[in-house]
Amino acid sequence: MLVDVKEIQKVSNMFMNAIHEDEIELLNKLYDALKEGDRERADSLMDEFLQDVEEHFSTEEALMREAEFFAYPMHKQEHDMMRKEVARIHERWKESKDPQEVIKFLEEVFVPWLKLHVATMDSVTAIHIGD
Ligand SMILES: [Fe+2]
Ligand SMILES: [Fe+2]
């Protein structure tokens, strides 16, 4: 398992929590497929991951625009930086199909980022948006 759902902070918006929980479930499936060297399964899960991250971020951005959240540009900027990183690793995977490269990205880049992002940006955003 890559990350336990308990390691990701709960925010004060249930919809956002559900998005995070679903993402963690997908991350763990992807991680297991990569660890097992199941490239076919990992390949479709990589496509799902790219799509899931986009949905996660764009849903939060829509919620922020609706609530006219003051820190929208800052929050979106963090998303945009990670959108690029995820697109890059997705592209790398399609080229090399190297599980180690993606494992390293998930362990060292994506999960630490997600933990911090949820505990800071998402957490403040959820307080403003409410439940
Ligand atoms: Fe989030
Ligand atoms: Fe976010």
- The whole-angstrom distance between residue 79's C-alpha and the CA centroid of its chain comes to 9
What ligand has the least distance to the C-alpha of 18?
1
What ligand has the least distance to the C-alpha of 64?
2
What ligand has the least distance to the C-alpha of 61?
2
What ligand has the least distance to the C-alpha of 71?
2
Give the tens place of pLDDT for each residue, 52-104. 999 999 999 999 999 999 999 999 999 999 999 999 999 999 999 999 999 99
Give the tens place of pLDDT for each residue, 2-56. 999 999 999 999 999 999 999 999 999 999 999 999 999 999 999 999 999 999 9
Cα dist. 68→46, 62, 74, 79, 127 in Å?
33, 10, 13, 17, 13
Domain carrying residue 33? 5-129
Mark the residues whose beta carbon lies below 5 A from ion ligand 2.
60, 122
Task: Of 122, 107, 130, give the one whose Cα is nearest residue 56.
Answer: 122
Query: What CATH number did the domain enclosing 116 receive?
Result: 1.20.120.50
Number of domains in the chain: 1
For residue 20, report the distance from its CA to the centre of ligand 1, in Å: 6
